[in-house]
Chain A
Amino acid sequence: MKSGSQLEKILTAGHFAFTGELGPPRGANVEAIKKKAAPLKDMVDSVNITDNQTAVVRMSSWAASLFAIAEGLEPNFQMVCRDRNRLAMQGDILGAYAHGIRNMLCLSGDHQQFGDHPQSKGVFDIDSMQLITMVKDMRDEGKFLNGQEIDDPPKMFIGAAANPFAEPFDWRVYRLAKKVQAGADFIQTQCVFNMERMREWVKQANDMGLTEKVYILAGVTPMKSLGMARYMKSKVPGMDVPDYIIDRLKGVDKKEQANEGIKIACEQIEEFKEMKGVAGVHLMAIEWEHKVPEIAERAGVLPRPKV
């Protein structure tokens, strides 16, 4: 075991992993975290705790991760390169590990221009690829980025993101290969809507032998409404929402759209369970945490295995 996290145990035991997401509050509201955490308990193996997602200030990811632990969840501590330099990042990793955090997701981060402080200075001292290697070397070599020894190194299960849908398509699998080479243990993909493209990308990863070295968790986001689907198609960079998703939501009564969205998500999860090279699903039910038990039930991923 590299970290001994629940997520690592689930994946190494060969179970189909199921992870969720929790966005920290825009304030010090602990009750809000508890409210979002409650429906996730026993439904997912690990919960991504986002780090100032969409460049909007929220409670820090490591602090909200500690509340998640207190609520009986296993956090997947997200860290972006936008807000901290290499000193702050390593310091937070040490603190997070010391408090019992065992999974980390290493990200570049959305550009600050999108957020609530667009005038801020984006740090980007290191990039996500370099962050992965830094966390790996902290764990496996027991060394800081500068090569100096760490007194009790942090042992994280290292995650990274991949977007199979952004251009240049041909390069995406090579970038995945770079993340594997950098030291990623698992990958969580961008929200998948275009299944053809996803199948092609996973096949490329299989053919290159990458899926033997890294666990790929397919990102699934249930559409809550036709409006959300249209918004994601036209407004969110790097998102690929095919017309047939829009058409399916259009084809049902407005009150039925949320149900249809969950149905599409469950069909995707069924396919991922059988897809060679996919080791699990990362469910991003955006501001829809209370629906996770229903989705997990309908997707047939319950009960979660005990390992």
Chain B
Amino acid sequence: MIVAERKSFAEIKEMIEGYKKVLVVGCGTCVAVCLAGGEKEVGVLAAELKLSNKGSSDPAGFGEATVQRQCDMEFLDELKDIVGEYDALLSMACGAGIQFLAERYPEIPVFPAVNTTFIGVNKDVGWYEERCKACGSCVLGMTGGICPVTMCAKSLFNGPCGGTNHKSCEINKDQPCAWYMIYERLAKQGRLENILKISPPNDWRNTKPQTLIQPGYEERKAAAE
């Protein structure tokens, strides 16, 4: 899933300063699972905003809405009858959802209430770890299911480097060396020959905006354009 963390209240408050009616918009998918921007977090943020307004001579109004996915126009359409009542939208979705919300309602300013951090896994409730950089050229088959692009601080394709520090990465003893783990797993599987070969330079596909059309959907896209 995509993992995000909420911005500080001070930063959020400063962004929406001067807007009299703000709709806090949550997303019911990734950011809800990682406890950053689901229905519950929308409620908490809206309550905090209302509380901070207390005693103001001209208090702002805050509304709440959570859609199932902000990265999907079908769900964003659900807001069409209420957004007109607001002069700003505060999105708690990932960066993709925030942009799609802004694209759907281009006349209304949209602000981010979270920082999108990474594609990761759920280690435990409230504990997430990064696992994928979406580089676009997956080598997990060669590396025993451990991503060298994400898990190695230098994204080496031919590790481990000389900085391997008692099985940890040189940057931090709490960060395991990805290539040490790759070596150990492949050794156990009897597949070390995988990394005896030199891996060629990567084709970095994540350095420009990308579009993906699954096979069979080309005509549908053409018709929509």
Chain A residues with CB under 8 Å of chain B are 81-82, 86, 108-111, 113-114, 122, 124-130, 133-134, 145, 161-163, 166-168, 171, 174-175, 177-178, 181-182, 190, 237-238
Contact = CB atoms under 8 A, between A and B. Distances in A.
Interface string B90-113: 000000000000000000000000
B181 to A, nearest CB: 10
A168 B163 contact: no
B162 A129 contact: no
Contacts of A168: 160, 164, 180, 183-184
Contact of B158 (A109, A125, A128): A128
Interface string B159-185: 111111111001100000100100110
A166 B154 contact: no
Contacts of B165: 166, 237-238
Given A111-B170, A129-B198, A168-B184, A124 B162 contact: no
Contacts of A129: 157-158, 198-199
Interface string B181-205: 0011000000010001011111010
B155 A124 contact: yes
A271 B180 CA distance: 31
B198 A238 contact: no
A167 B204 contact: no
B156 interface: yes
* B contact patch SS: loop
Contacts of A127: 154-159
Contacts of A178: 158, 196, 198
B196 A125 contact: no
Interface in B143-159: 153-159
18 contacts: A108-B154, A108-B156, A109-B154, A110-B163, A110-B170, A113-B153, A114-B170, A125-B204, A128-B161, A129-B157, A130-B198, A161-B162, A162-B162, A163-B161, A167-B166, A167-B177, A178-B158, A238-B163
Contact of B154 (A111, A133, A162): A111
Contacts of B154: 81-82, 108-109, 111, 122, 124, 127
B153 A166 contact: no
Contacts of B153: 111, 113, 122
A163 B32 CA distance: 45
Contact of B164 (A109, A110, A124, A238): A238
